[in-house]
């Protein structure tokens, strides 16, 4: 088990010395979140390696909707914010998602993974066949939270969401490997391990922290807790599929 009192390395942050208090907050938030993930069957490869074909397909289909609607989260913030810096960060994020400069878009990379487990992403986009109620609620509650908080809180939530890529995707990559994804289709997961989207939010985030730490704390608490409960519901749904 991780010890949350222990100082741990934080990936993707080069300017933490500007605020030791924020460094400690992130370390503790990350550590608590990782401890919670470690309790889930979803991230236990000894269990996921025994999934049957229907469970593998179910995961590939549902997970599309748990990450494929993030564009709505970004779109909401970018459209209602007057902060040009955050608009540029979101535009850069979208460029990476689209695979500018000769790279596959993340959507295409995921489609390759899903196809390996007999999931047609085009069907999911159009018909939302596996957009289960809990997945829809997860995405809607993100937008609801944004609508109820000011722009500083929204930007902090965006940073927290980006932060979780660095934590979640090593687990998701291990999961994908355990269910037999090929090296080619693992590309979607591996590319997200190395993203530095959280680092790109640092200058904006530290300004918010220095003005109002509570806004950052509340935003991270919501995003981290909301994400954990989503993984728990996904884990339970796949177990019930057997």
How many other β-carbons are positioned within 10 Å of the β-carbon of residue 189? 22
70 vs 73: CA distance, rounded Å: 5
Region 214-223: mean pLDDT is 97
What pLDDT, on a 0 to 100 scale, did the predictor assign at position 233? Answer: 97
35 with 1: CB under 8 angstroms? yes
Task: Establish if 27 belongs to a structural domain.
Answer: no
* pLDDT exceeds 70 at position 9: no
What pLDDT, on a 0 to 100 scale, did the predictor assign at position 19? Answer: 75
Q: What average pLDDT is seen over the chain?
A: 88
What pLDDT, on a 0 to 100 scale, did the predictor assign at position 89? Answer: 86
Task: Establish if 181 belongs to a structural domain.
Answer: yes
Host domain of residue 208: 51-241
Question: How many structural domains does the chain have?
Answer: 1
For the CA atoms of 148, 154, 156, 161, what is the dihedral angle to 10 degrees? 100
Task: Establish if 109 belongs to a structural domain.
Answer: yes
What pLDDT, on a 0 to 100 scale, did the predictor assign at position 6? Answer: 46
69 vs 128: CA distance, rounded Å: 12
Task: Establish if 34 belongs to a structural domain.
Answer: no
How many other β-carbons are positioned within 10 Å of the β-carbon of residue 148? 9
Q: For residues 19 and 178, which has the higher predicted lDDT (pLDDT)?
A: 178
Label residues 95-130 b or e (16+ Cβ within 10 Å = b).
ebeeeeeeeeebbebbbbbbebbebebeebeeeeeb
Alpha carbon 158 to its chain centroid, in Å, reads 10
Q: What percent of the chain has pLDDT over 90?
A: 68
CATH of residue 174's domain is 1.20.910.10
Region 144-169: mean pLDDT is 94
Task: Establish if 186 belongs to a structural domain.
Answer: yes
What pLDDT, on a 0 to 100 scale, did the predictor assign at position 101? Answer: 65
Task: Establish if 6 belongs to a structural domain.
Answer: no
Token pair of 188, please? 């979607």
The residue written with tokens 């997961």 in the block is: 189
pLDDT 10s digits, 111-131: 999 999 999 999 999 999 999
Q: What percent of the chain has pLDDT over 70?
A: 90
Lowest mean pLDDT among 66-70, 141-145, 153-157: 66-70
What pLDDT, on a 0 to 100 scale, did the predictor assign at position 47? Answer: 95
What pLDDT, on a 0 to 100 scale, did the predictor assign at position 18? Answer: 59
pTM, two decimals, is 0.90
Task: Establish if 45 belongs to a structural domain.
Answer: no
Region 154-177: mean pLDDT is 94
DSSP secondary structure letters along 16-29: GGG-HHHHHHHHHH
pLDDT 10s digits, 71-100: 899 999 999 888 888 888 888 888 888 877
Region 126-146: mean pLDDT is 96
213 vs 63: CA distance, rounded Å: 32
Q: How many CA atoms lie within 13 A of 238 on its CB side?
A: 29
184 vs 83: CA distance, rounded Å: 38
Q: For residues 106 and 177, which has the higher predicted lDDT (pLDDT)?
A: 177
Task: Establish if 233 belongs to a structural domain.
Answer: yes
* pLDDT exceeds 70 at position 7: no
Helix residue spans in 148-212 (DSSP H): 151-178, 187-193, 197-200, 202-211
């Amino acid at each position: 088990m991780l010890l949350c009192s222990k100082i741990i390395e934080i990936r993707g942050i080069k300017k933490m010395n500007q605020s030791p208090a924020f460094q400690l907050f992130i370390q503790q938030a990350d550590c608590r979140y990782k401890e919670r993930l470690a309790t889930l069957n979803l991230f236990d490869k000894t269990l996921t390696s025994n999934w049957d074909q229907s469970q593998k397909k179910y995961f590939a289909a549902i997970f599309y909707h748990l990450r494929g609607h993030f564009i709505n989260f970004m779109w909401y913030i970018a459209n209602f914010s007057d902060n040009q810096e955050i608009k540029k960060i979101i535009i850069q994020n979208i460029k990476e998602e689209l695979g500018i400069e000769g790279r596959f878009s993340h959507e295409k990379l995921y489609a390759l993974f899903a196809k390996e487990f007999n999931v047609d992403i085009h069907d999911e986009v159009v018909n939302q066949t596996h957009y289960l109620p809990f997945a829809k609620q997860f995405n809607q509650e993100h937008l609801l939270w944004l609508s109820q908080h000011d722009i500083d809180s929204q930007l902090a939530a965006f940073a927290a969401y980006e932060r979780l890529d660095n934590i979640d995707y090593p687990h998701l990559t291990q999961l994908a490997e355990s269910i037999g994804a090929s090296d080619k289709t693992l590309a979607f997961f591996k590319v997200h391990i190395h993203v530095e989207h959280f680092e790109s939010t640092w200058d904006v985030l530290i300004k918010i922290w220095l003005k109002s730490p509570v806004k950052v704390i509340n935003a991270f608490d919501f995003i981290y807790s909301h994400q954990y409960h989503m993984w728990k519901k996904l884990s339970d749904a796949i177990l019930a599929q057997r």
